[in-house]
Amino acid sequence: MVARLSRHLNIPNITCMLQASLQFCSECNNLLYPKADPHRRIMVFACRICQYEEASESKCVYRNDLLTVTK
């Protein structure tokens, strides 16, 4: 569905727009922040309170939605 929609709308990376969302810690329900793990060379989401970490499924950490109005 997403691939068909992106071809129809001519949007190259619609999956990034759909996957960028806030993630919360499963132990203390605080916000998870993106962090690089240099040893494994991957991005992880880490909690700043309880040091919980989980591997990232998506590489998209920020989404800038722009609404273009044309006349």
Domains and their CATH numbers in the chain: 22-57 (2.20.25.10)
- Tell me, what's the pLDDT at 19? 55
Q: What string of pLDDT tens digits covers the 71 residues of the chain?
A: 444 444 445 555 554 445 567 889 999 999 999 899 899 988 999 999 998 999 888 777 777 878 877 77
Which residues neighbour 24 within 8 Å (Cβ) at sequence distance 6 or greater?
30, 31, 32
Distance CA 58, CA 32 (A): 14
- Tell me, what's the pLDDT at 57? 81
Distance CA 28, CA 34 (A): 17
